Structure 1
Amino acid sequence: MKKLMTWLSDVFAPKARKIFANPWIDTVASTMKKVLPIILTGSLIFFYNVFRSYLKFLPDLRIIANFSFGLLAIFIAFLITHEAMLKLKHSQYQINAGLISIATYLLLCCPKVVDGVFQIENGRIGPAGIMMAIVVGLFVAIVFHLYAKLHVLENNTALPDFVSEWINNIIPITITLAIAMLFANVLDLDLYQMFINLFLPLQKGAQTLPGFILICFVPVIFYSMGISSWVFNAVTTPIFIVAIAQNIEAVAAGGVPVNIATSEAVFTAALITMGGRGGTLPLNVMMLFSKSKKLKTMAKICIGPSLFNINEPIMFGAPVVFNPLLMLPILINSIVGPAVVWLTMHYGLLNIPSKMIQIGQIPAPFSSVMITEDWRAVIVYIVLFALYFLTWYPFYKVYEKQCVVEESQA
C-alpha cells in the first residue's frame, strides 16, 4: 500500500496535473467555470418554475432562461477562443478572436435568409450546440495562435502601430471565415448535424450503467489525490447539459425523460454526492462522535458545508486526500452510489429529472425530492446513507484508532 501511495503521490499525480495544465485543456476547463453563472441563471428559472407550476399567478420568466441558458453555445464559442488567447499569451487578439469565433460558429450553423430575414434554428445556439462551439472556439484559437507565431509586422517601424494591429487582425479573421465559408457554403456541409452524429455514441455511452458509473467514478479518483474534479467539467458539462435539454424537450412533447446522466441526477439530487463527491456525509457524522479530538473538532467545522454537499473541508481536513485508509471507501462509494441511482431510475423506482436545476448545494433529501418530483427519493436517500455508512465504517475505525494513538503519544 505504501508503494502504491508513493507512486500515486510522486509519479501519477504530478503527471496528471501537468496534463490538465496544458493550455488547450485548461482553456476548456476554464470556459466551463466561467459559463457556470449563465447555467445557474437558467437553473434558477427552472427552479422558480417548479413553484410556478403550483402557483399559477406567478409571472412567466422563461424568457430569462431563453436568453441565458438558451444562448449557451454562442457564449462558449466566444469564451473558448478568448480564454485560449489569454493562456497562450496573445492578449492582443482576445476580443477580436472571440468575436470572430461567434461569427464562425453562426456561419457553420448554416443560417438561411428568407425574404430578407436572417433565420437560424433556435436549438443550434443553445445547449445542444456546446460540443460544436468548443471545437469551433478551439479552431479559431489555433488559427490566431499560428498566425501570432509568425510575428508579422512586429518590428515594422514604417507603419503606425494601429495600422499594424489592423492588418494583424484582418489576416487571421479572413482566413478563419474563409475556411468556415468553404465548409458551409462551398462544400454545403452541415457541421452542426455532423457534430451531433459524431458525439452521439459518447452521449449514449454516458447513459448506460457502465458509462454513468465511469463519469462519476473517474473524477473522484483524481479528487482523492487532491486534483479538483472541476477539471472534468470540460468533458462532463456538455454531456450533462445536452442530456437534460433532451429530457426537457421530451416532457414538453408529451413524452418521458430517458437520460439519467445529467447534472441534476448526479449533483442536484445529492444522492450520489451526499455531502459531496464520494458520499462523505456519513463519514462526517461518524467523526462527530469520534474518540479522537482532532477528528471530532474537524467534524464540527465540516458538518455545515457537508450538509450543503460541500466536502473540500473534510477532504483536506480529515484528510481523505492521499489517506490510504480513506481513499478506498470513497472510491467504493463512487461506484455504489451511481449504480444504485442508475438502477432505481432505469427501472422506474425513481423518477428521472426533467427540469434543469443545476444547483448541487441544496440539502438532501429535500433536493432529491424536488428534482425528481418523487417522494421515493427519501427511501433511496436512506438506503444510500446506510450503504455509504457501512462502507466508511471499518476504514474509519482503523483510522480513528491511529489518530487516538498519535494524540496519546503527542
Structure 2
Amino acid sequence: MEKFLKWIEESLMPPMAKLSEQRHLKAIRDGVISTLSLIIVGSFFLIIAQPPVQSWAKAIAPHVGQIMIPYRLTMGLMSLYAAYGMGYSLAKSYKLDGVSGGVLSLTAFLFTTIPLNVDAFVKTATAAGIEGAAPMGWVLPMANLGGSGMFAAIISMIFAVETMRLLKKHNITIKMPEQVPESVSRSFEALIPAAVIITVVWFIRVWLNFDIQTAIMNLFKPIVNVAGNSLGGVLIPVIFVTLLWSAGIHGMSVIGSLVRPIWLVLLDQNTAAIASGSALPNIAVEPFFQWFIWIGGAGATLSLAIIMCFSKSEYLKRVGRFSIIPGIFNINEPLIFGAPIVMNPILAIPFILGPVVSGIIAYAATAAGLVSKVTVMAPWTLPAPIGAFVATGGDWRAAVLVIINIAIVAVIYYPFFKAYEKKMILEEKQSEIA
C-alpha cells in the first residue's frame, strides 16, 4: 500500500492536480460547490418525504407534495444555481465582472428550456370533459433544471463567458463615462454580450429545435443494445453512469432512463418465476444495482463518506460528516458536489473503479448462488444492507455482501483520497498564511 501511495503521489498526482486547476474545470467545481448548502438542505427534505419505513411513509403520504417543495426548489433547480456560480467563477478568472458572467450564464442556460403555455392544455382538458383544470399561463418545465441539466448548464456557461470575453477583448462593448455608477456601467457593458448570447441560444434552441438533453439521450441509446442480463450488461451502464457523473452530468438521468425499461422487464420476469415456482432467470435487475453497486449513491460513495469523516483536512472532514447521514439513505449529492467529485480527476478514478469492482463481485456471488437473486423493489432510501436483505426476499447473505463491498470500495478509494487530502491540507495551510 505504501508503494502504491507513493506511485499515486509522485506519478499520478502531478498531472491530475494540474488538470484539476484548468480554468474551466475549476470554475465548474467552484460553481457546483456554491450550491452545496441548498443540496444538503434539499436532501434532508427528500429523506423525510421518502422514509425507508413503510408505516412512516403511509403516515406522511397525504403531505408528501408539501414536504417535497423545498427539495424541488433546491436540488430540483441545482443546475440553475450552478450556472450562475460557474459563470461568476469563470468570469472572475478572466478578470471580468463576475456578476455579469453569472447572470449571462444563467440566462443562456434558461434559454435551453422552452416555456409551455399550460392554458392550451387546460382548454384541451376542458374540451375533453376533464374537471378541475385551472388556467396557469406560461410555465417553465423543471425536468432539466436539476442534476440532469448540469451538462447543458456547463455548455451554456462556457459559451456565455467566452462570448463576453471575446467581445471585451475586441472592444465590442458599450463604455459609459466615469461619472456613471459602477452598477449602471456594468449593465451597459453586458448589453452587447447579452444580445449576442440570447440571440444565438434562442436561434439554436427554438428555430433549429436543437435540444442538448435530447442529444445526450440519443448519444447513449446504443447502450440499450448491450445492457441486459450479463456481466457486460452490468458493467457498461455502471461505467457510463459514473463517467457522466464525473463530468457533472446526472448519469442515472441519462443512462438510467434508457436501460431502466430493460431492468424492469427482467425484474418482472423474476417475479413471474416466483409466482410459477420456477427458477429465477435474471441477475441484472434494477434493485441489483441499487443495493450491491450504488451503495450510498452513484459511485458507491458511502465508503468515501466514512473515510472522509476521519480526514486530517478540516474541509474534507466536514464534508464527510454532513454527507454521512444522507449517504446512509443513498443520497450522495452533498458528497458528489461537496468534495467535489465532479470535474475532480483524482477522485473520479475510484468513483468509477469502485462500482466496477463491486459490480463484478456482486454478479459473481449471485451467479454462483452465494446470494439470492433480487425479486423485490425495496424503497430506495433504505440503508443498503437492509435494502439488499429485503430485495432478495430475506437473504441475510445479501446484507453481508453489501458490507463486504463497502469495505472493498473503501480500500479502492483510500489511496486516491489520501493523495487528494494532502492537496487539500496544503491549500488550507496556504489559505491560513494568506
Q: Give the TM-score category using the shorter length.
A: 0.5 to 0.7
* Residue 373 of structure 2: aligned partner: 349
After TM superposition, give the deviation of residue 391 of structure 1 in Å.
11
Q: 3-state DSSP class of the match of 2:374?
A: coil
Kept in 1, the 8 Å contact 2:45–2:67? The answer is yes
**Structure-2 change in CA distance of 1:331 and 1:168 (3 Å):** closer
- Confirm or deny that 1:111 pairs with 2:115: yes
1:79 aligned residue (78, 82, 90): 82
Q: Distance in 2 between matches of 1:247 and 1:191?
A: 20
2:397 aligned residue (375, 379, 394): 379
Provide the TM-score with structure 1 as the length reference: 0.58
Please give the per-residue CA displacement for 1:70-107, whole angstroms capped at 9, x wherever unaligned: 77564313423423422541687444443444443343
Query: Which has the higher mean CA deviation after the structures are superposed, 11-20 or 104-113?
Result: 104-113
* Residue 123 of structure 1: aligned partner: 143
Kept in 1, the 8 Å contact 2:79–2:150? The answer is yes
1:186 aligned residue (167, 185, 207): 207
Query: Which has the higher mean CA deviation after the structures are superposed, 382-391 or 234-243?
Result: 382-391
The one-letter code matched in structure 2 to 1:240 is M
* Residue 234 of structure 2: aligned partner: 209
The one-letter code matched in structure 2 to 1:10 is E
Kept in 2, the 8 Å contact 1:76–1:130? The answer is yes
- Confirm or deny that 1:267 pairs with 2:295: yes
Kept in 2, the 8 Å contact 1:100–1:173? The answer is yes
Provide the TM-score with structure 2 as the length reference: 0.55
The one-letter code matched in structure 2 to 1:144 is M
The one-letter code matched in structure 1 to 2:235 is P
After TM superposition, give the deviation of residue 376 of structure 1 in Å.
4.3
Q: Distance in 2 between matches of 1:265 and 1:368?
A: 11
2:58 aligned residue (55, 58, 75): 55
Q: 3-state DSSP class of the match of 2:295?
A: helix
* Residue 44 of structure 1: aligned partner: 47
Q: 3-state DSSP class of the match of 2:250?
A: helix
**Structure-2 change in CA distance of 1:96 and 1:59 (3 Å):** farther
* Residue 432 of structure 2: aligned partner: none
After TM superposition, give the deviation of residue 204 of structure 1 in Å.
8.7
Q: Which runs of 5+ in 2 are unaligned?
A: 121-135, 269-284, 311-322, 336-349, 412-434
After TM superposition, give the deviation of residue 165 of structure 1 in Å.
1.2
For residues 164-179 of structure 1, what are the structure 2 equivalents within 5 Å? 164-179=185-200
* Residue 339 of structure 1: aligned partner: 360
Q: 3-state DSSP class of the match of 2:63?
A: coil
Q: Which runs of 5+ in 1 are unaligned?
A: 219-231, 285-304, 313-328, 394-410
Between the two proteins, the alignment pairs up a number of residues equal to 333
Q: Distance in 2 between matches of 1:204 and 1:127?
A: 26
Kept in 2, the 8 Å contact 1:272–1:341? The answer is no
After TM superposition, give the deviation of residue 28 of structure 1 in Å.
3.0
Q: Distance in 1 between matches of 2:101 and 2:357?
A: 45
2:68 aligned residue (65, 69, 74): 65
Q: Distance in 2 between matches of 1:127 and 1:192?
A: 12
**Structure-2 change in CA distance of 1:382 and 1:29 (3 Å):** same
Q: Distance in 2 between matches of 1:365 and 1:267?
A: 9
